[in-house]
Amino acid sequence: MPELVWQKSSFSGDDASRDCMEIAPAPGGGPLLLRESDTPSTILRMPAFSLRALLDAARSGALDGAAAAVSRRSA
């Protein structure tokens, strides 16, 4: 299996020790792969259109408060 080439978010800056989201194309043109740099073994696979919908929702504010709601449910 070819080694994945991860690209970090431009919002993370140049500090290599900073945690950030990373993305890589799946081998063979499959779904996109997402991970958080501080937990690189946990990888989320999603088609490009799903990532676009997630980013659009975040930009529109539709996800504002979502993390707080999840925290309240798990407490």
> Three-state secondary structure along 3-68?
CCCCEECHHHCCCCCCCCEEEEECHHHCCEEEEECCEEEEEEEECHHHHHHHHHHHHHCCCCCHHH
pLDDT of residue 31: 92
63 is a domain residue: yes
List pLDDT tens digits, range 30-45.
Answer: 899 999 888 889 999 9
1 is a domain residue: no
18 is a domain residue: yes
- Between 48 and 72, name the one with better pLDDT: 48
Secondary structure letter of residue 75 according to DSSP: -
Domain count, the chain: 1
- Which residue range(s) make up the domain with 20? 7-74
45 is a domain residue: yes
20 is a domain residue: yes
Q: What is the mean pLDDT of residues 42-51?
A: 92
* Per-chain mean pLDDT for the chain: 82
